[in-house]
Amino acid sequence: MTTDYKADKTDLKIMKALAADGRMAWSELGDKIGLSLTPTLRRVRRLEEAGYIQGYVARLDEGRLAGRMSIFVSVTLTSQAEEAITVFEQQIAAAPEVMSCFLMTGDTDYSLRVVVRDLDDYNRFLTRTLTRIPGVAHIKSSFALRTVLIRSAPPL
């Protein structure tokens, strides 16, 4: 991976186009950015190698697959020792309800975004998964009323 490569304006156009439609044909991408096929492919490969483009995915309907209820959960551990953190992170990564997990500074150790169908599903996640992870000391849940914005990539 080439980490010292600096993306230019044309690279930003490529990334913006691919963020909107990662399945577009290379020739269509070239037309959008004003380059022929070969230079377009060369730039895309360079962006991949430099780590700007980390992969291509399908954007799935989270609500239909997992549920429409998003809960933001703050978790505090009894210890911040390396072993406690490792155990928590391994077990939380195996929970399909957890869509994202961040190690935090401040009053709580982790912030999770959990997605479930309803309160019963969340109760099951809490009692059968989260509270059974060794070292969990405190849990605080905040329920999202409405999704305002979810970006698939930073604005370019």
**HSE toward the beta carbon, residue 1, CA cutoff 13 A:** 7
What is the reported pTM? Answer: 0.85
- Write out the residue limits of the CATH 1.10.10.10 domain(s) in the chain: 9-49
State the CATH class of domain 9-49: mainly alpha
CATH architecture observed for domain 62-143: 2-Layer Sandwich (3.30)
- Write out the residue limits of the CATH 3.30.70.920 domain(s) in the chain: 62-143
Q: pLDDT 10s per residue in the chain (156 long)? A: 656 899 999 999 999 999 999 999 999 999 999 999 999 999 999 999 999 999 999 989 999 999 999 999 999 999 999 999 999 999 999 999 999 999 999 999 999 999 999 999 999 999 999 999 999 999 999 999 999 998 888 888
